[in-house]
């Protein structure tokens, strides 16, 4: 019997989970997984990784993807390092630009879109310095991370744009790194929030706690000021002027934007996207075309139009997508559905000694944040995420 071809685009939380799930349960599946980087990046720990180069070893946060699939039949799985460049839903093909060699076109019976999102700091388009909060578009994560660590270690005036969880975590890590290197007073760290409090999505007592911890670590906290412009004088590309709403200006030798995520959708046909560029899915994680046609395409994770773009939500979506995909192929199993709910679950370390957040409506004690996430940024979970067991 000819194998059932399942092409998975994106090798991170969502795509890895679905690939494993199908391989485990569908005997005649042939899964092709496409991802530009040959390693999975534990980006959850990115704020600490870039600020403290020796906190973790690269092999803890960059894990080879192919090795995690070694236990399946060799002809059931192919890892294709590269980038999907086009999807043809009528012909049921995906065009791929492999990292090496000529472009090729793959036929699929089922397609999974798990291409996630990126941040502007990752590609460095704004300031010329990439701070890799997510996987890049190339197989260059180790070099990007090293370069970012070097830039950060050499910076004297760091401005962080945005005071959501990434901005706050990063500020806490940077402040500790400065303190440990004996540079207190010689390096300034400023975090700029457009809203009147940091972590505006959390309860106000969490915001107040985070602000206090940051200020205790000598981070300057600027609130109610949006960054409107970031520019460099033509004659000196190592210094930046960060202009704030209302006219204030900050000088910086490193500006790190931490707000907003953008969809990795350049290869996805417009009829599968909403107006903001996210892939439209129903509760069963099936991709919905604007023309109403039923497609053998599933999507999961940050790329979908579900608004909670968090790794554990990506995995929840992947569980639903995988179950429904398998049910469609082998028949029988019940249809699962995803509902992101409205409760906020967020744990935000501010350095290694404490932090804040919101869990089941409560603001956790600082020492609990340290125990849950602050000590290790869940780094030991990278292996199970890669194995599709998270």
Ligand X SMILES: Cc1cc2nc3c(=O)[nH]c(=O)nc-3n(C[C@H](O)[C@H](O)[C@H](O)COP(=O)(O)OP(=O)(O)OC[C@H]3O[C@@H](n4cnc5c(N)ncnc54)[C@H](O)[C@@H]3O)c2cc1C
Q: Which residues bind ligand X (CB under 6 A)?
A: 9-15, 34-37, 43-44, 46-47, 83-84, 114-117, 119, 133-135, 166, 264, 267, 301-302, 309-312, 314
Q: What are phi and psi of 216, to 5 degrees?
A: -65, -30
**H or E element in which residue 214 lies:** helix 204-216
At 82 the three-state DSSP class reads strand
For residues 241 and 381, which CB has a smaller minimum distance to ligand X in the complex? 381
Among 71, 105, 107, 125, binds ligand NAG (CB under 6 A): 125
Work out the end-to-end distance of the chain between its first and last CA atoms, rounded to an integer number of angstroms. 32
Cα 128 to Cα 41, 47, 237, 242, 267: the distances in Å are 22, 19, 9, 15, 24
> Any contact of residue 137 with ligand NAG (CB under 6 A)?
yes
Q: Nearest approach, Cβ of 240 to ligand NAG (angstroms)?
A: 17
> Any contact of residue 288 with ligand NAG (CB under 6 A)?
yes
Choose the contact partner of 309 out of ligand NAG, ligand X, none; CB within 5 to 8 A by kind.
Answer: ligand X
Q: Nearest approach, Cβ of 119 to ligand NAG (angstroms)?
A: 9
For residues 306 and 356, which CB has a smaller minimum distance to ligand NAG in the complex? 306
Residues sharing a CB contact under 8 Å with residue 76, sequence separation 6 or more, in sequence order: 3, 23, 29, 30, 31
b vs e for 51-71, b when ≥16 Cβ sit within 10 Å of the residue's Cβ?
A: bbbebbeeebbbbebeebbee
> Any contact of residue 195 with ligand NAG (CB under 6 A)?
no
Q: Nearest approach, Cβ of 247 to ligand NAG (angstroms)?
A: 28
Where in 260-279 is the site for ligand NAG (CB under 6 A)?
262, 264, 266, 274
Cα 359 to Cα 202, 362, 369: the distances in Å are 10, 5, 10
Choose the contact partner of 288 out of ligand NAG, ligand X, none; CB within 5 to 8 A by kind.
Answer: ligand NAG
What is the sign, positive or negative, of the torsion defined by CA atoms of 205, 207, 212, 217?
A: positive
- Residues in the site for ligand NAG, rule: CB under 6 A? 36, 83, 118, 123, 125, 137, 262, 264, 266, 274, 280-282, 288, 305-306
């Amino acid at each position: 019997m000819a194998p059932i071809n399942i092409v998975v685009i994106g090798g991170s939380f969502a795509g890895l989970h679905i690939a494993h799930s199908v391989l485990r349960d569908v005997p005649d599946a042939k899964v092709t997984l496409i991802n530009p980087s040959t390693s999975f990046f534990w980006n959850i720990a990115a704020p600490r990784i870039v600020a403290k180069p020796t906190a973790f070893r690269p092999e803890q946060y960059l894990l080879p993807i192919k090795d995690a699939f070694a236990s399946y039949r060799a002809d059931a799985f192919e890892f294709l390092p590269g980038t999907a460049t086009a999807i043809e839903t009528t012909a049921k093909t995906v065009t791929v630009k492999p990292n090496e060699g000529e472009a090729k076109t793959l036929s699929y019976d089922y397609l999974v879109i798990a291409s996630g999102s990126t941040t502007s700091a990752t590609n460095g388009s704004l300031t010329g310095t990439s701070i890799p909060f997510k996987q890049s578009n190339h197989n260059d994560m180790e070099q990007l991370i090293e370069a970012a660590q070097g830039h950060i270690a050499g910076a004297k005036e760091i401005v962080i744009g945005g005071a959501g969880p990434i901005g706050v975590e990063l500020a806490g890590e940077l402040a500790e790194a400065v303190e440990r290197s004996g540079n207190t007073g010689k390096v300034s760290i400023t975090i700029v929030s457009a809203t009147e409090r940091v972590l505006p999505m959390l309860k106000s007592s969490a915001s107040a706690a985070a602000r206090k911890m940051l200020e205790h670590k000598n981070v300057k906290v600027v609130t109610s000021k949006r960054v409107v412009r970031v520019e460099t004088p033509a004659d000196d590309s190592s210094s930046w002027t960060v202009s704030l709403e209302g006219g204030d200006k900050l000088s910086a030798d490193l500006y790190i934007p931490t707000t907003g995520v953008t969809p990795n959708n350049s290869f996805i046909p417009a009829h599968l996207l909403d107006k903001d560029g996210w892939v439209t899915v129903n509760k069963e994680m099936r991709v919905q075309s604007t023309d109403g046609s039923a497609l053998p395409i599933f999507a999961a994770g940050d790329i979908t139009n579900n608004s909670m773009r968090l790794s554990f939500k990506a995995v929840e979506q992947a569980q639903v997508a995988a179950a429904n995909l398998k049910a469609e192929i082998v028949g029988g199993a019940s249809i699962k559905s995803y509902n992101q709910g409205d409760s906020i679950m967020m744990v935000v370390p501010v350095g290694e000694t404490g932090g804040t957040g919101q869990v089941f409506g409560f603001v956790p004690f600082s020492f609990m944040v340290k125990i849950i996430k602050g000590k290790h940024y869940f780094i030991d979970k990278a292996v199970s995420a890669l194995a599709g067991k998270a």
